[in-house]
Amino acid sequence: MKKIRKRKTKFEKTMISLTLTTILCVFISVFFFKSQLSSVNIEVEKLKKSVSKEQKVNESLTMKVNELVSLENMQLVAATEGLEYNNNNIIVIQK
């Protein structure tokens, strides 16, 4: 029995080369896109942390505003400035 050695044609060589190149490109692109996704996720987490921090600051400032607007505080400021509290002169403005 003789072994028949089959030679690859030019088309087969080209197809194998093209297939290997395509597989390599797919792996490289997957790696690239995963790294991009990771960096975007890191940026999103930084922004979430920043937003959370700003929300806490806003809540704190809202509490200070509510404290300063309170009736007791207005009466205290009026008394220290030598003014008197007159309920008839108060005008409530609503948005």
Note whether residue 3 is domain-resident.
no
Structural domain harbouring 48: 10-89
Residue 19 tokens, joined: 């297939």
Note whether residue 18 is domain-resident.
yes
Predicted pLDDT at 32 = 95
Note whether residue 94 is domain-resident.
no
What's the predicted TM-score (pTM) here?
A: 0.55
pLDDT over threshold 70, residue 33: yes
Note whether residue 48 is domain-resident.
yes
Residue 27 tokens, joined: 């792996």
**pLDDT tens sequence across 61-79:** 999 998 888 888 888 888 8
Q: Is-contact 85 74, C-beta < 8 A?
A: yes
pLDDT over threshold 90, residue 4: no
Note whether residue 2 is domain-resident.
no
- For residue 75, give every residue at least 6 positions away whose Cβ sits within 8 Å of its Cβ, in sequence order, or none: 85
Distance between CA 15 and CA 1 in Å, rounded?
Answer: 31
Q: Is-contact 73 67, C-beta < 8 A?
A: yes
